[in-house]
Amino acid sequence: MKKAKRRVADELRSEYKRGDFGELVRGKYAERLREKSNVVVLDPRVAEFFPNAASVNSALLSLAEVAKRSARLPRSRARRSA
């Protein structure tokens, strides 16, 4: 029994015409993706410290909490008079 010949991957079926699909535009949605994407790429040196996304989120939330608390602390009077 003979095996059926496989079609070339980029060949259109006979019932489809290239003109039916309109103009192809490379990167058509690239700008929209850049604007609305929340993907952050870490520097490889930083990524070495974090095994997964959960650990990155935990560290950043902890840092944000420390920053928020330190922003509320009153400055000492010794610094103001100097």
Dist CA 49 CA 56 (whole Å): 9
pLDDT tens, position by position, 33-82:
888 888 888 999 999 999 999 999 999 999 999 999 988 777 666 555 55
pLDDT at 57: 94
Q: Which domain holds residue 69?
A: 43-73
Residue 63: inside a domain, yes or no? yes
Residue 81: inside a domain, yes or no? no
Residue 17: inside a domain, yes or no? no
**What single-letter amino acid sits at 52?**
N
DSSP 24: -
Residue 11: inside a domain, yes or no? no
How many domains, in total, are found in the chain? Answer: 1
Residue 60: inside a domain, yes or no? yes
Residue 29: inside a domain, yes or no? no
